[in-house]
């Protein structure tokens, strides 16, 4: 996923107030770099590195100089500065113009932008009690600050005046005005004073609940662990897996072996644990996590969102949330999900029958349960393809995958090269920093990679931007990828599963979307597109991991250096669509849950989250016990903790674009610099600076169709 900063709309608001400081880096061309007149004076406390632009290249954050005590004062000062800058704009006696209002707004909020990017990213990467405490204190204030801007009548009047004259504008300027106007209207700028007060109250309550939801979840990663005393129970795991469980227990001050949950319902170890009771325990710990703490919050959040949507004139939160997306309406989303659901379910039931046959073959009589699926699917895979993870993993050593796989593919496609930058400070010792260069040697930006799972790090994988590209501000991108690959025991190589390889490519697809951005305005840069567009470049990038030329270059045995045998490689490729019935059903179930929670009316009576889930899935024919949703309500961060509410469908929506674009590239010669350049010019560099469907059409010459998606998932042949 692409991480969205903190709760719902705050990031959007603060993104609109991006920073204005000129870069101090001499390597940037000197085009912009005007000192804004409204900038507040430098603070007395120079030790707080959040208060001044970083002197490092491209304003890379000074992670080594950050102190826990820096955040609160920087947020406070950032809000004051931003408020003063906005007042200067609204009090301008001259009539509103694009330059003196919209462009001026783009230049505001330097300290706040820097602080919130660093704080909210680090709070997902290295959270501790200090982050939790600052977050609790600051989120209500940020929410109120955001409302002050969006509900400011004088400011909106200026934006409205410019919007009415938008016919005089073209290109990116016009796009920016439309984005601003829509954001203000969608935040409640046209409401009556009484309704604006209600809006502030709702936003305040939601911000608190969403913060609590995320914090409960972070706490659950620490608390909901399974400690195994008897090594024999871990039968089926490899020596290195057992060693890392022992190391995890030791780190946590426990004896024995500790299994930590990952963010999805399914857990990686379920595919190899032979002990059925332990599998059941692991699965149940995962599926029922945060039930007591988060279930009441889920119900409240869903209802408050419905109320907020009503206030803005929409029947449901889903209708509101989809209003500015490519899909536009809930009907369009249900349409695509419901169309795929029966096809996927048929495939999943065929897979289940194969699995049940495996169970019977073992002389067992039990009926397939969710905690059995991965374990027996692995056996089916072995039988069908003569392939299992332990055979394949030695060919996917992390450094080789990264350098000879992903960076190699990116070089073939875009001509880019990558240089480690060990001189730059990082937020954790396991993080690597790189500088990315064009083929002509010019520097694009900085990229950090944070691969390993650890306590205090949010689950899953994501990308975000620490500094976004803008010609107006003369900034170049600084982006990062975070994954959650289990860290091997000391001295052991990191051997990846094929899924992890795919995730690495996925997240780098977001990274290049941020890195290749070539726009004027920070609000339109890089990955700041509609949610149901932003997962297109990332999913498109996944497919390069299975390009034969790329695979042949990186899939090499970590001990012998031997390339993966052709026969094994053929099996890996053939097995790629294995278990896609399961994968598609678990995804669709989660996407439909997300939609159903956000299709309720404000007065809907809900007392039991589990009952709501069951009913919602039954409504769409997906109440199929062996394949539970990829995320259940109480740990569904996309839906309740971040900016993907009524938006989880976006992965499927964008996969249509990804699959279609990949098949188009293949028809044009595949992995070539010409294809890469065209894609970069028409899609990746554009950010949100033009209509998104137009970007796609500029690239592929037509709108996408679902044919390639169905083939990609192996749902048709």
**Which parts of this chain interact with Zn ion (CB under 5 A)?**
1, 535, 538
Give 371-431 as a DSSP string.
TTHHHHHHHHHHHHHS--HHHHGGG-BHHHIIIIIIHHHHHHHH--EEEE-TTS--SSTTE
**Measured distance CA(482)–CA(507) in Å, rounded:** 8
Report the residue number, 139 or 511, with the smaller CB distance to Zn ion.
511
| Closer of 70 and 535 to Zn ion (Cβ) | 535
Residue 367 annotated as catalytic: no
Residue with tokens 């009441």: 296
Reported as half-sphere exposure (CB side, CA atoms, 13 A), residue 72 has a value of 11
Q: Which is nearer to Zn ion, 271 or 538 (CB)?
A: 538
Q: Tell me which DSSP letter residue 629 carries.
A: -
Q: Which of 172, 507, 596, 613 is catalytic?
A: 507
Report d(CA 490, CA 243) in Å as an integer: 9
Using a 10 angstrom Cβ sphere, with 0-12 exposed, 13-18 middle and 19 or more buried, the burial of residue 575 is: middle
- Neighbouring residues of 681: CB distance < 8 A, sequence distance ≥ 6: none
Expressed in angstroms, the distance from the first to the final Cα of the chain is 28
Smallest distance from the beta carbon of 630 to Zn ion, in angstroms? 14
Nearer to Zn ion, 333 or 463 (CB): 463
Comparison of 1 and 13: residue with beta carbon closer to Zn ion? 1
CB closer to Zn ion out of 505 and 597: 505
* DSSP structure class, residue 706: S
3-state SS, one letter per residue, for 28-52 = CCCCCCCCCCCCCCCCCCCCCHHHC
Q: Considering Cα of 137, then 481, then 4, then 90, what sign does the dihedral take?
A: positive
Looking at beta carbons, which pairs linking 598-601 to residues 24 or more positions away fall under 8 Å? 598/302, 598/305, 598/306, 598/316, 598/317, 598/318, 598/321, 598/639, 598/645, 598/646, 599/316, 599/317, 599/318, 599/330, 600/302, 600/303, 600/306, 600/316, 601/306, 601/315, 601/316
Residue with tokens 């894609």: 679
Which three-class secondary structure state does DSSP give residue 598?
Answer: coil
Residue 82 C-alpha from the chain's centroid: 27
DSSP string for residues in 91-121:
T--SPP-IIIIIIHHHT--HHHHHHHHHHHH
Contact between residue 108 and residue 17 where contact means Cβ atoms under 8 Å apart: yes
- Tokens at residue 488, please? 């091997």
Q: CB 20 → Zn ion: shortest distance, Å?
A: 29
Whose Cβ is closer to Zn ion: residue 143's or residue 637's? 637
Residue among 538 and 584 whose Cβ is closer to Zn ion: 538
Q: Which is nearer to Zn ion, 294 or 538 (CB)?
A: 538
> Taking the complex as a whole, how short is the minimal distance between the CB of residue 525 and Zn ion, in angstroms?
17
388 burial level (CB within 10 Å; 0-12, 13-18, 19+):
middle
Instruction: Tell the smallest beta-carbon distance from residue 506 to Zn ion (Å).
Output: 6
Residue nearest to Zn ion (CB): 538
Residue tagged 């495996």 (tokens): 358
Query: Would you please indicate which residues are annotated as catalytic (active-site) residues?
Result: 507
């Amino acid at each position: 996923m692409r991480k969205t900063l903190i709760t719902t709309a705050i990031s959007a608001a603060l993104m609109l107030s991006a920073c204005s400081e000129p870069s101090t880096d001499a390597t940037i061309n000197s085009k912009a770099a005007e000192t804004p007149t409204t900038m507040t004076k430098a603070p007395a406390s120079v030790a707080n590195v959040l208060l001044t632009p970083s002197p490092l290249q491209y304003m890379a954050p000074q992670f080594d100089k950050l102190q826990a005590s820096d955040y609160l004062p920087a947020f406070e000062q950032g809000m004051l500065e931003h408020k003063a800058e906005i007042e200067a704009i609204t009090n301008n006696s001259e009539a509103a113009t694009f330059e003196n209002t919209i462009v001026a707004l783009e230049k505001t909020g330097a300290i706040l932008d820097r602080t919130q990017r660093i704080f909210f990213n680090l709070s997902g990467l290295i959270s501790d009690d200090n982050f939790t405490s600052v977050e609790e204190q600051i989120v209500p204030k940020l929410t109120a600050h955001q409302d002050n801007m969006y509900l400011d009548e004088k400011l909106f009047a200026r934006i409205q005046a410019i919007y009415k004259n938008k016919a005089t504008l073209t290109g990116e300027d016009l796009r920016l005005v439309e984005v601003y106007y829509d954001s203000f209207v969608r935040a409640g700028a046209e409401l009556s004073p009484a309704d604006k007060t209600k809006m502030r109250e709702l936003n305040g309550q939601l911000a608190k609940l969403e913060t609590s939801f995320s914090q409960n979840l972070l706490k659950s990663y620490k608390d909901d662990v399974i400690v195994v005393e008897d090594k024999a129970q871990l039968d089926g795991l490899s020596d290195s897996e057992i060693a890392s469980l022992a190391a995890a227990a030791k780190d946590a001050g426990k004896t024995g072996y500790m299994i930590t949950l990952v963010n999805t319902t399914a857990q990686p170890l379920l595919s190899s644990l032979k002990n059925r009771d332990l599998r059941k325990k692991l699965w149940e710990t995962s599926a029922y996590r945060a039930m007591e703490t988060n279930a009441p919050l889920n119900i409240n959040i869903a209802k408050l969102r419905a109320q907020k949507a009503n206030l803005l004139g929409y029947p449901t939160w889903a209708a509101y949330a989809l209003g500015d997306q490519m899909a536009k309406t809930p009907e369009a989303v249900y349409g695509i999900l419901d169309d795929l659901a029966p096809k996927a379910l048929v495939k999943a039931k065929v897979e289940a029958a194969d699995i049940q046959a495996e169970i019977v073959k073992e002389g067992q009589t039990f009926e397939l349960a969710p905690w059995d699926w991965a374990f027996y699917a692995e056996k089916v895979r072995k039988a069908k393809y003569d392939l299992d993870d332990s055979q394949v993993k030695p060919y996917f050593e992390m450094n080789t995958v990264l350098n000879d796989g992903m960076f190699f593919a990116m070089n073939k496609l875009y001509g880019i090269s990558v240089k480690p930058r060990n001189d730059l400070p990082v937020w954790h010792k396991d993080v690597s920093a790189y500088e990315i260069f064009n083929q002509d040697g010019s520097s694009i930006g900085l990229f950090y990679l944070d691969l390993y799972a650890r306590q205090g790090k949010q689950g899953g994988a994501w990308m975000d931007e620490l500094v976004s590209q803008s010609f107006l501000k003369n900034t170049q991108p600084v982006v990062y990828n975070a994954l959650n690959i289990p860290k091997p025991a000391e001295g052991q190589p990191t051997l990846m599963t094929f899924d992890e390889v795919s995730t690495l490519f996925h997240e780098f697809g977001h990274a290049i979307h941020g890195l290749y951005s070539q726009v004027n305005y920070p609000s339109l840069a890089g990955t700041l597109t509609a949610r149901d567009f932003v997962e297109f470049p990332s999913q498109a990038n996944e497919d390069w991991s299975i390009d034969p030329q790329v695979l042949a270059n990186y899939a090499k045995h970590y001990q012998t250096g031997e390339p993966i045998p052709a026969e094994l490689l053929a099996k890996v490729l053939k097995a790629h669509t294995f278990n896609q019935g399961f994968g598609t059903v678990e995804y669709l179930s989660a996407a439909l849950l997300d939609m159903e929670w956000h299709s309720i009316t404000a007065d809907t009576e809900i007392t039991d989250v589990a009952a709501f889930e069951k009913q919602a899935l039954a409504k769409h024919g997906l109440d199929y016990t062996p394949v539970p949703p990829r995320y259940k309500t109480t740990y569904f961060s996309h839906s309740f903790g971040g900016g993907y509410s009524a938006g989880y469908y976006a992965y499927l929506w964008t996969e249509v674009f990804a699959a279609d674009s990949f098949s188009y590239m293949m028809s044009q010669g595949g992995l070539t610099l010409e294809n890469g350049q065209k894609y970069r010019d028409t899609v990746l560099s554009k950010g949100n600076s033009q209509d998104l469907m137009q970007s796609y059409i500029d690239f592929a010459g037509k709108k996408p169709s679902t044919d390639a998606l169905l083939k990609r998932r192996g749902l048709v042949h």
